[in-house]
Amino acid sequence: MKNLAVVIALFLLISNTLFAQVSINTENSAPDLSAILDLKSTAKGFLPPRMTTVQRNTIASPAEGLVIYNTDEKALNVYNGIVWNSMVPIPAFSCGLTISINHVVSGGVAPVNKTVAYGTVNGIPDELSKCWITSNLGSDHQATAVDDATEASAGWYWQFNHKQGYKHDGITRTPNTEWITSISESSDWMTANDPCNIELGAMWRIPTYTEWHNVLITGGWTSLSDPWNSGLRLHASGFLGCNEGSLNQCGSGGYYWSSTQVGALYGWGMYLENGGIDMYNSNQAYGFSARCVRD
């Protein structure tokens, strides 16, 4: 009879676990009906796995909603299905302040892991209410001159409506995967693929054709020195060729995507060269710089 009682108790415990709820320290009260796991205590807390950022980034295929405590950040991290988000309280945004972004390869956008401080500015002619970052997405810092040809100032490059960014140091492209030489897609740059939105936050995005066109025309930009002397500090960061992804014109020309498509094969971009500045429809397979904006 004693063994039978033990078997019945184990059966009830297993049934409770499989078909109902798991509760710990709830002997004086029933578990909450909305919880699959209910922990009750007035003297002790819940301790999630603790690890560094490097250790966290080695987790293979993290599940959406996975939680860890980051010992580097001193904060909980939650995986949202695309990137790890820190649960550090975010202060209200004010344009003009610097924003610090932790870029990580695991998000499928950044080609390398690094933390970047981006300056922000508003009051740009004909887009006065918009806030812009003052350096290219993926750059270590703002360019030092209009013809600054360094990788640290150039930032990363993107193909139209693709979220993967590419770093190029003049010799090696990272990631050095097979380059997409032809893109045929029927949409503007989608939010799910927008590197500004993914890396900087939900309010950020790649500028539209209209926004770039307004800034160009109202600013009276006709030569490279004009956008460089504006609040945006746009410079000649070059581009990646559509046929092989090699670096071209770094230090002599700047090429920036808009989020607006022209047709299945082309997207609107803005080019900055000594010979002129204008909007033009470009092959979507080119790798152009990204400069982010928010309303």
pLDDT tens for each residue of 56-77:
999 999 999 999 999 988 899 9
CA distance 34 to 44: 22
Q: Say whether both 149 and 194 belong to one domain.
A: yes
Q: Say whether both 236 and 285 belong to one domain.
A: yes
Pairing verdict, β 37-39 and 276-283: unpaired
- Specify the pLDDT at position 16: 52
Q: Say whether both 22 and 68 belong to one domain.
A: no
- Specify the pLDDT at position 12: 44
Q: Say whether both 17 and 159 belong to one domain.
A: no
Report residue 253 as tokens: 């020309």
Q: What is the dihedral of CA 146, 150, 156, 157, to 10 degrees?
A: 70
Residue-number span of the structural domain to which 29 is assigned: 2-39
Degrees, nearest 5: CA angle 278-284-288: 60
Residue with tokens 């184990």: 10
Q: Say whether both 181 and 217 belong to one domain.
A: yes
- Specify the pLDDT at position 11: 44
- Specify the pLDDT at position 24: 74
Q: Say whether both 11 and 122 belong to one domain.
A: no
Residue spans of the chain under pLDDT 70: 1-20, 26-28, 90
- Specify the pLDDT at position 7: 46
What's the domain count of the chain? 3
Q: Say whether both 205 and 71 belong to one domain.
A: no
CA distance 142 to 199: 18
